[in-house]
Structure formats: C-alpha cells, structure tokens
C-alpha cells in the first residue's frame, strides 16, 4: 500500500518535489522527563485476524482515551479561572486542550507509525506568532507541554516545548503535501465541539481520530468524556441528569462493526475483557416523521429542504404527527451527532453546506466509518459518498453537494428523493 514517508531529518520534510522547512527553533525551554512506558494499546472486541489495521486501531484507541483524560483535566483548570481560552483568526475558540490533544496524539502515532502522515485541525502558528517579549506566549506553551507530558505514552526520553510544538505542526496545513495517488493517513479532530467543551461540565464534545486508506475511511475512534446512557436532553440547556456520565469510547473497523465501552476511570487502566464492549447499531426507523433528527447548532430547521414538508419540534412529549418531525439537541460539533446515529439515539443528521464555509474532513471522517459499520449510510445530498480525496494536495476539505446526510440506512433513499424534489 502506498505510504508517504516522513521519517526525514528534523529540519525539513520533503514530499514529492516540495520542501517544507520547519519553523526556527524557539528559545531554549526546560525539558520534562516522561515516565518510561512500554507500548500500550487498547484491547479491541475483535481478533487481529479479522482487521487489517488492528494494531493501528488499538494504538489509536489508547491514544484517544488518554486524550480524553487530558481534556477532562484541562477543563477542571479552565473552570478554576486559568487563562487557557484563545481565539483563532476566524473567531472560533481554541483551548490548551485542543493543542494538547493534537500534540499528544501526533507524538504517540509518530512513535509507532512514523511513515503515516497526520491531517489535523490545529498548528502552532498562533502560539509562535506572539511577541517574543510577551511572557504570556511562554506561559501558554508551558501549560500545553505540562498537559501533554502528564498523559503521553513515551519511551522515557525528554520532551521539550519545541518537541510539543513540532508534534502539533505535524498535523498542520504545511506539514505534508499529497498528490493524486492513493495514500494512507490519519485524520484528527482534537476537540470537535470546542464551544461545547467551554460550556460547562455537561456539554458533549468529541476527540475523533480516523485512518484513511486509499480514499476510504477504514478505522476510527471517537471519545466523548461526558456521554452517558441516559437519553440526551432535547433542549438547549445544560442538564446534569442528561449528560453526566463516565464517557464513551467508540471504535470501528471496516468489516468488524462498531463497538463502544465506557472510558476507563484512570489512564493506563485498560480493561482486557471483551465483555465490556457493546456492539453498536443504528435504529430501525423507516418512517420519516417517526425519526429523530439532528442538525448543526449553527443551523435552523428552515435551512433544511425537508422543512418544506415537515415542521419541527424539540419536545418528545408532543404527539406524533405525520407533518412534524422531532429535532434532538446534541450540543456542539458534528461528531457527537455521528455518535448519536451510530449508537441508535438519533436516526438522521442533516448538515447543509454554506457559501464561503469550508467543510473540513476531520469533522466527518471518523463519524463515517462508525455509522457505516453500525448499519447506517452517509452521502452528500445527491446520494453520492463523501470524497475524502477531493482535496488532492491537503486532504483537509471535502466538497459534498448540498451538504452531508447521515442516516440509519433505512431512511436514506427516501430522504435523498425528498431532497432532490425540494432542493435546487
């Protein structure tokens, strides 16, 4: 299988004819000594003989679980009032947890699979661009490094601030350039739903990691620290009873199904019993007005073509009406909606493409394999599968016609027909 080899001298990466030079080394910073640890991997609910990428998925699951623990710990410090919330150029929020998760996952994957590149949301340009005389930049990098070294699985070497920044940049826009040939690469969303992460203890957010092989999402992991088995609240308000729980780890591999279990209480306490894993399936609803729908928090029902045929309600106690559908609230981000469909909590997730807004691969990649292996179906609004190779050089953007349609499979063809009749 073609791979892009990135194990080059540390001062540059060369892919094809393009040279990518690493940013200058920042001022010396203190080094952290990482605990020595053997290669840890999460036990999976299916045998290695059944899964071509069993080793990759096991390592990814362990890394995502550690990343979730990092998020929980950083969130505690956020609530204590520390300055750890930043704003990117597009005014979207980013936190130490976003950078920390990307650094942790990037570092661990590079140790185990150095030839597989990473496509991820963040880079360190924001952190590096601060005034060198401004100590706040050093404080931020210090905080990110501290969060990472406390959770990362390493061989006992030292990890400096520069190592952490380089790990973040390994997934950045300029880290690697693809071409039209098939490739194998990771896709990471360090925190999908950062706004939810910032809302409070109960809001859902997801750490999502997928492995793409020759344009197809082959395996993936989603971790959601605030997931619970209790039905999610359907109103846009925080609810302690609705969202608090031990969290969920969902894994999926083509041909092996989608499975989930509770997040471990502590890092390193990975259970080896397959009994704790539960097979995930989409629901079996085949009647549109009986289905449970999700839409992005930034969109309203009247932006969806089906609004011409159905009104909507968020009240589950409303009597069923063949002219009205139920909208479920799932807080921020796209991946928690995929999580809901894959686990059978929702039947459909609609997302409309909007002018001047790019649809990022990391917001959908891992969700695709999890829903498909749970029995669902994903496409653009015309019914065509999502093309993760359309962005030939970056593999960072997808271009679904109309938007993205995620369903339980039973409703898919009906909904595509309804969209076709009501959307031009």
179 is an annotated ligand-binding site residue: no
CA dihedral 328, 330, 332, 336 (to 10 degrees): -120
- Name residue 327's beta-bridge partners: 293
DSSP 119-135: EES--SHHHHTS-TT-H
C-alpha distance from residue 43 to each of 49, 116, 222, 273, 312 (Å): 14, 22, 15, 8, 42
Query: Measured over all CA atoms, what is the biggest interatomic distance in the chain, rounded to whole angstroms?
Result: 66
Instruction: Assess whether 315 carries a catalytic annotation.
Output: no
- 40 assigned binding-site residue: no
- CB count, 10 Å around CB of 37? 12
> Do 401 and 382 form a contact (C-beta atoms < 8 A)?
yes
The residues with which 189 forms a beta bridge, in sequence order, are 208
What CA–CA distance (Å, rounded) separates 367 from 336?
9
- Per the annotation, does 121 bind a ligand? yes
Distance between CA atoms of residues 183 and 202, nearest Å:
38
- Is residue 102 within 8 Å of 190, Cβ to Cβ? yes
90 carries an active-site annotation: no
Does 192 appear as a known binding residue?
yes
Has 363 been labeled as part of a binding site?
Answer: yes
Q: Which of 194, 218, 228, 407 is catalytic?
A: 194
- Distance, in Å, from the CA atom of 163 to the CA atom of 148, rounded to the nearest integer, reads 11
Instruction: Give strand ranges (E) for 145-192.
Output: 158-159, 184-192
SS3 state of residue 105? helix
Backbone angles phi, psi at 195, to 5 degrees: -65, -35
- Phi, psi at 314, each rounded to 5°: -110, 5
Question: CA 388 → CA 2, 214, 246, 368, distances in Å?
Answer: 16, 9, 32, 11
Annotated binding-site ranges: 121, 189, 191-192, 363
- List active site positions: 98, 194
Annotated binding-site ranges for Mg(2+): 121, 189, 191-192, 363
């Amino acid at each position: 299988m073609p791979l892009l080899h990135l194990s080059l001298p540390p001062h540059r990466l060369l892919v094809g004819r393009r040279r990518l030079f690493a940013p200058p080394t920042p001022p010396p910073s203190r080094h952290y000594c990482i605990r020595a640890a053997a290669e840890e991997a999460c036990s999976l609910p299916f045998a290695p003989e059944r899964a071509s990428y069993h080793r990759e998925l096991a390592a990814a699951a362990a890394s995502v679980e550690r990343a979730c623990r990092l998020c929980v710990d950083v969130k505690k410090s956020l609530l204590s009032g520390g300055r750890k919330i930043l704003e990117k150029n597009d005014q979207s929020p980013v936190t130490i947890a976003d950078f920390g998760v990307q650094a942790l996952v990037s570092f661990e994957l590079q140790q185990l699979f150095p030839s597989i590149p990473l496509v991820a949301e963040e880079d360190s340009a924001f952190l590096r661009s601060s005034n060198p005389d401004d100590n706040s930049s050093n404080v931020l990098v210090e905080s990110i490094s501290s969060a990472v070294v406390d959770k990362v699985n390493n061989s006992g070497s030292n990890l400096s601030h520069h190592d952490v920044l380089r790990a973040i940049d390994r997934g950045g826009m300029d880290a690697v350039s693809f071409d039209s040939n098939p490739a194998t690469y990771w896709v990471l969303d360090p925190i999908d739903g950062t706004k939810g992460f910032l809302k409070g203890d109960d809001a859902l957010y997801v750490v999502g990691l997928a492995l793409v092989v020759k344009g197809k999402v082959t395996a993936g992991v989603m971790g959601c620290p605030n997931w619970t088995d209790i039905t999610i609240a359907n109103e846009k308000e925080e609810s302690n009873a609705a969202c608090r729980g031990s969290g969920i780890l969902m894994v999926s591999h083509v041909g092996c199904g989608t499975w989930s279990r509770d997040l471990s209480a502590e890092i390193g306490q990975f259970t080896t019993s397959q009994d704790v894993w539960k097979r995930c399936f989409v629901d079996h609803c085949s009647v549109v007005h009986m289905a449970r729908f999700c839409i992005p928090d930034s969109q309203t029902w009247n932006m969806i073509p089906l609004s011409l045929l159905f009104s909507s309600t968020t009240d589950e106690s409303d009597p069923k009406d063949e002219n009205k559908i139920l909208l479920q609230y799932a807080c921020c981000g796209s991946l928690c909606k995929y999580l809901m469909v894959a686990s059978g909590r929702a039947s459909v997730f609609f997302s409309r493409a909007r002018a001047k807004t790019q649809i990022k691969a990391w917001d959908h990649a891992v969700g695709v394999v999890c829903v498909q292996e749970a029995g669902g179906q994903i496409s653009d609004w015309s019914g065509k599968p999502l093309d993760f190779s359309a962005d030939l050089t970056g593999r960072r953007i997808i271009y679904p016609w109309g938007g993205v349609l995620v369903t339980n499979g039973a409703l898919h063809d009906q909904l595509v027909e309804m969209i076709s009749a009501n959307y031009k």
